[in-house]
Structure formats: C-alpha cells, structure tokens
Chains A and B, each alone.
Chain A
Amino acid sequence: MSEEALRTESISKSFGRVTALRDVSIRLMRGEVLGLLGDNGAGKSTLMKILTGFHRPTTGKIFFEGKEIELKSVSHARALGIEPVYQDLALINEVNVYRNMFLQKELMRNKFFQILDDREMRRLAQEHLKQMRVNIPSVDVEISKLSGGQRQAIAVARSVYANAKVLLLDEPTAAMGVKESAMILDVIRQLKEKAQVAVIIVAHNYAHVFDVCDRVNLLQNGKITFDRATKDTSVEELMGLVLHEMREAREQIEHPKL
C-alpha cells in the first residue's frame, strides 16, 4: 500500500488571459480514490486534462509513480496506464459501441495494413459490458442511438477495460440513474481494492463522493483550498466551505471593497 501513483507540484494553467489553475499540488496513492470537488469553472476538468496528457501545464511538475514525467500526449499517458473519462465522454456518435470501446487502442487482424479485428473487438466488448452490467440494446448500434446515461456507462466501461493504473473520471455519473451510478461506484470500489487502481473522481454529488472516496480535495477558483480524508470531514463541513465562498462573493457585490 501507500505507494505514490500520481503527484503534481505547483501546477498552473492559463488559457490566454484566463488562469484556470494556480499552484495546484495534489497527491494520489495506489489504491486510493480521491474526490475532486468544486464549482462550475473551478478548474476541475482542466486539471484532469493536464493529467491525461491533453493539456500541457503552463508551469509545474507531474510525477508518475515517483518519477518526474512530461506527458507528451494522450496516447503517451494512456500507454503509461493513465485512462481518462472526459466530461464530454469522447465517444464518436457515428461509430458503433464496440469500436468506440476500443477507440485508439483498436485490435487488429493485420498490424501492417492496420486492418481492424471487428469480430474480436465485438466479442470482448460484449463480454465486458455484460460483466459491468451495462444495459444497451447491442454493441452494434451507433452511439447516437444511446441515452446519455448509457453513453456515460460506455465511456466508463472503456476506461475500466483498459487495465489502467490511474483512472481519471470527470463526472462519470452525472447523467446516470440511481441504480446505474451505484453500479459504477461499485466497480470503482472493486478496482481499488482488487487491483490497487488509483482513481480521481470529479463529482458534484457529495453523497457519491463520501460513499466511495478516501480523500477529498476542494478546488476553488483554480486553487486547492481543502484536502482531507473523508473520514475526518463531513458533507456539512464541505457545504459550509463552499457556501462561505458564496457569501463572500455576495458581500463583494453588495459592498465592493475595490
């Protein structure tokens, strides 16, 4: 236990004049589930996309399994075992379920000509989705024919299938029903216990976070303002912190200090 999986040191990220992250340091151990909370626009997705290799940080360092690393691309991160589920899911509407499941990690019948092995991808996708009890009509339908929750389940199943060391889940249960999200949380718990997978979950649902996470970080205006084990805090405390920020903001509007 307690080997480090992923760590960031003073990461900042600016998009032109917008500073999305300032001086963010987080630490994630193997077999740990970290909940990342924060308001809309706080920078959660930006932080996740830096860890998936999609964005480069403006400043700061990333350590993977204790060694400093420059994540050159998403493929690079995925090859290391860092699997993302993006908030926008990154599924292709026009492509069927099983090909989406293997997107960019396709199985091939012929490596040289890059001919896809549809039969094998189809079989494995079917097997895996059944195991995860994802309820869809068939793996042959296009993503566009599925509901929001079903799509989300496919995206999560895709990342779980990849045998990741680190799973980065950006609001994985936002569009799901009670039963489906319980299912996903269950899968996450199993991964962490059986396979020592390290997980970061971005979520707005505090109950989910407290249900499955070992630790929570609060991201406010691009800064980590709170970092504690879930057993040492409570929903009320976190709510209090967020609402406190809101009250301050309101005071600013009513009595501007300038």
Chain B
Amino acid sequence: MPTEPPKSIPESQATPKRPSRLGVLGRAFLHSREASILIAGILLVIYFQSTAPAFLSWSNIANLVVFAATIAILAAGEVMVIICGEFDLSVGMVYALAPFVMFYAHEAGVPYVLAIVLGMAAGAVVGLINGLITVKLHIPSFITTLGTLFIINGFTLTISGGFPVQPHPDPFIFAVFGGPLGGFPVSQLLWAVAITALFQFILVKTRWGLHTVATGGNLLGASEVGIKIAWIKIGNFMLCSVLGAFAGMLDCFRISSADPLAGGTDYMFRATASAVIGGTLLTGGSGTVIGAFLGAVVLGILSDGFTLSGVSAYTFDMILGGAILITMVINVRLSKLRAAGGGK
C-alpha cells in the first residue's frame, strides 16, 4: 500500500549515496495520497483567513469541527465499503434512524449505554441486509442501498411520526458522547480522530484490511486464493452502517435532539465526496481513511469559509461543486505523477 513507507531500502535498489532517514520519510510523505489533500486544506485556510478574519476564531473552528467530525466518521465506513468494491447510499438514513432506536429503547427503560449499543445494533442489521442482498442475490449495491435508503427513511418517519424528540442523558453520557468542553466540541473531535485512527489501522495493518483491498482490487483473484469475499463485503457494509448509527447518536446527544430529517442523502454524499477527495478510488481496491478524514476537513473548510465570506446559499453549492471537481482534478494529476514510471 502506498500509504506505507518502505521499512528499509531493498538491497537491489540501494544506491551508493543513501538519503537520510528524514529525507526518506519526507519523500514518502510527499508521495502519499494524503499529502496533496493536506496541502490543499492549508492553502484554503490561508485563503479564507485572509478574506474573513473570523475564520480562525474559536467559535468558527468549533463549527467546523462539528461538521467535519460527523462527516469524517461516516466517511470512514464509506471508505471501507468503496475499497471492497461496493457503495452505500443508505448510511445517511441510518444516521437518522439510530437516535430514534436509542431514544425509544431508553423510553422503554433501557439504560443509555445499552440503548446506544442497540442503536448501533440497528445499524448492524441494516448493514447485514445491505450486504446479504448485494452478495447473495447479486444486486449491485448501488441499487440495494438505494432501496434501503427509502425504506429506512420511511421507517424513521413512521416511528417518529415525523417529529423530533429530545433525549435527556445523564451528565456522564452527555460528556462522553456529545459534550462540548469549554464551548468546544471536544468529544466529537476525539471520537472522529479515534475512529479514523482505528479504521486506518484496520485497513493498513490487519488481515481484514488486506482482504478488503484484495476483494475490491481483484474480486475473482481474491476468491481464487480462498478469501471469503462475501463475508468481507457483508462485514464492511455492517461496519459502515454501525459508524453511521454511531455518528447519528453523537449528533443527537450534542444538540439534545433527534430529527427524523437529519443526515440523509446530503450527509451520505458529503461522506462519499470526502472519501473521494481524500484519494479513495470509486473503482475499488484503493483508498485511505486518513485521506477521507482530511477530505471531510477540506469540505468543512469550504462550506464554512464560503458561508463566512457571505456567499449566498444558492451560489454556495455551485462553488462547492466546482471546488470538489478542481480538488479531484488536481488529485488525479498528482497521483498520475506519483505513479509515473509504472501503474496500470
């Protein structure tokens, strides 16, 4: 995986003049997919700070973190699904559903910690259904999850009657899952960072991650060596939906309200855009979770920056769309440069 710097220089490539260790690390970073997106992010920050000095104020950074953290968590799951060669359109609806499962479970007397687990279990069930239909009935996941998207949305609207509900968690639960610290959304940020780190680790260092890449990179080949491709796909659908459920509940605690109209396709598209901006290929077999995290941050910077600059909501979407395209074009160019001398 290109995200992994080589541990040592192979003898066959060793040149008489060995570059310093720092030099090797530096080069490896610049060659990594995450580098270009990080640089783009920094440039955007500089630009917005120069046009709107309030950009780097604490309250605005807090805004940005809230937005980016949620999308980053959704994107982590979407990355896994996309890498193994599938697509999940329904994750934004799971985001809206899970808080209600949790809320009603708590109403029924289940303690919050367990209710949160139940919310995530609901996500797992959705992921299992997405996976089973896709893998066992050979329906393209684009269609499968398009179907479940509407079903889940309808279900959430039905059980909620279309109205928001207000959970009243005890201070401990609130602090862990939703609480700001000194006005800053610390727990959100920590959850997003932790989940990104965990999933990047799973992707790059574990057997599950390797088999996910193998399944998306060469489906037939993976099954020919005995990788259980069905289970890899179903499992990643489940991970994605569980993360969607978790992100939904975090936001529910943060704003002390569960809205049946929250999340939805808007969040799903933003999560997917983050993954793609971060360097995950929609064709499968290649991607990074850290990249998706940075993609979510860049998307957040763009949204927030343009809002602060006083761009109207109508114009804003056009600019955002254009910005996504430009980022992508730059990204593709850079990865072509990186792959120069080899590649498919």
| CB atoms of A92 and B218 under 8 A apart | yes
Query: What residues on A are CB-neighbors of B13 within 8 Å?
Result: 137-138
Give A126 Cβ to nearest chain B Cβ, in Å. Answer: 8
Q: Within 8 Å of chain A (Cβ to Cβ): is B220?
A: yes
Instruction: Encode contact with A along B1-12: 1 for CB under 8 Å, 0 otherwise.
Output: 110001100101
| A113 touches which of B206, B217, B221, B225 (Cβ 8 Å) | B206
Give A89 Cβ to nearest chain B Cβ, in Å. Answer: 7
Q: Within 8 Å of chain B (Cβ to Cβ): is A221?
A: no
Query: What residues on A are CB-neighbors of B205 within 8 Å?
Result: 115-116, 118
Q: Within 8 Å of chain B (Cβ to Cβ): is A210?
A: no
| B225 touches which of A90, A116, A118 (Cβ 8 Å) | A90
Complex CA gap A37/B7 in Å reads: 44
Complex CA gap A104/B232 in Å reads: 13
Instruction: Encode contact with A along B209-252: 1 for CB under 8 Å, 0 otherwise.
Output: 01101100110111111111000000000000000000000000
Query: What residues on A are CB-neighbors of B344 within 8 Å?
Result: 93, 144
| B224 touches which of A54, A119, A145 (Cβ 8 Å) | A54
Give B283 Cβ to nearest chain A Cβ, in Å. Answer: 10
Q: Known contacts being A88-B224, A119-B7, is A145 close to B343, with CB within 8 Å? A: yes
Q: Is the interface of A mostly helix, strand, loop or mixed?
A: loop
Complex CA gap A83/B45 in Å reads: 54
Complex CA gap A90/B215 in Å reads: 11
Query: What residues on A are CB-neighbors of B12 within 8 Å?
Result: 137-138
Residues facing B in A70-93 (CB within 8 A) are 73-75, 78, 84, 86, 88-93
Complex CA gap A115/B47 in Å reads: 42
Query: What residues on B are CB-neighbors of A75 within 8 Å?
Result: 226, 228
| CB atoms of B226 and A73 under 8 A apart | yes
Query: What residues on B are CB-neighbors of A90 within 8 Å?
Result: 218, 220-222, 224-225
| B221 touches which of A92, A137, A142, A145 (Cβ 8 Å) | A92
| B223 touches which of A54, A99, A122, A137 (Cβ 8 Å) | A54
Q: Within 8 Å of chain B (Cβ to Cβ): is A94?
A: yes
| CB atoms of A140 and B6 under 8 A apart | yes
Residue of A nearest to B216 (CB): A94
Q: Within 8 Å of chain A (Cβ to Cβ): is B136?
A: no
| CB atoms of B207 and A106 under 8 A apart | yes
Q: Within 8 Å of chain B (Cβ to Cβ): is A195?
A: no
| A116 touches which of B207, B214, B221, B227 (Cβ 8 Å) | B207
| CB atoms of A114 and B218 under 8 A apart | no
Instruction: Encode contact with B along A127-152: 1 for CB under 8 Å, 0 otherwise.
Output: 00000000001111110110000000
| CB atoms of B206 and A116 under 8 A apart | yes
Complex CA gap A22/B332 in Å reads: 50
Residue of B nearest to A77 (CB): B226
| CB atoms of A144 and B342 under 8 A apart | yes
| CB atoms of A122 and B7 under 8 A apart | yes
Give A5 Cβ to nearest chain B Cβ, in Å. Answer: 20
Q: Within 8 Å of chain B (Cβ to Cβ): is A108?
A: yes
Residue of A nearest to B287 (CB): A94
Q: Within 8 Å of chain B (Cβ to Cβ): is A96?
A: yes
Complex CA gap A95/B203 in Å reads: 12
Q: Within 8 Å of chain A (Cβ to Cβ): is B142?
A: no
Q: Known contacts being A88-B220, A144-B342, is A115 close to B206, with CB within 8 Å? A: yes
Interface centre among B221, B225, B286 (most CB of A within 10 A): B225
Q: Within 8 Å of chain A (Cβ to Cβ): is B208?
A: yes
Q: Within 8 Å of chain A (Cβ to Cβ): is B285?
A: yes
Complex CA gap A118/B211 in Å reads: 15
| B285 touches which of A84, A92, A137 (Cβ 8 Å) | A92
Q: Within 8 Å of chain B (Cβ to Cβ): is A239?
A: no
Complex CA gap A159/B207 in Å reads: 20
Instruction: Encode contact with B along A24-57: 1 for CB under 8 Å, 0 otherwise.
Output: 0000000000000000000000000100111000
Complex CA gap A119/B224 in Å reads: 25
Query: What residues on A are CB-neighbors of B225 within 8 Å?
Result: 74, 78, 90, 103-104
Query: What residues on A are CB-neighbors of B2 within 8 Å?
Result: 142
Complex CA gap A126/B9 in Å reads: 13
Give A135 Cβ to nearest chain B Cβ, in Å. Answer: 9
Q: Known contacts being A94-B286, A144-B342, A144-B344, is A106 close to B210, with CB within 8 Å? A: yes
| CB atoms of B210 and A91 under 8 A apart | no
Query: What residues on B are CB-neighbors of A88 within 8 Å?
Result: 220-221, 224
Query: What residues on A are CB-neighbors of B217 within 8 Å?
Result: 92-95
| CB atoms of A95 and B207 under 8 A apart | no
| Given A74-B223, A75-B228, 17 further pairs, Cβ under 8 A | A54-B223, A89-B221, A92-B217, A92-B221, A92-B222, A93-B217, A94-B1, A95-B213, A99-B210, A103-B222, A104-B225, A106-B210, A113-B206, A115-B207, A137-B12, A138-B12, A138-B13
* Chain B residues close to A by CB (< 8 Å): 1-2, 6-7, 10, 12-13, 205-208, 210-211, 213-214, 217-218, 220-228, 285-286, 342-344
- Give 21 CB contacts A-B under 8 Å: A49-B224, A54-B224, A74-B224, A74-B226, A75-B228, A88-B220, A88-B224, A90-B218, A90-B221, A90-B224, A92-B214, A92-B218, A93-B285, A99-B210, A115-B207, A118-B7, A119-B7, A126-B10, A137-B10, A138-B6, A145-B343
Q: Which 6 A-B pairs have the closest CB atoms?
A: A74-B226, A75-B226, A138-B10, A90-B221, A145-B342, A90-B224
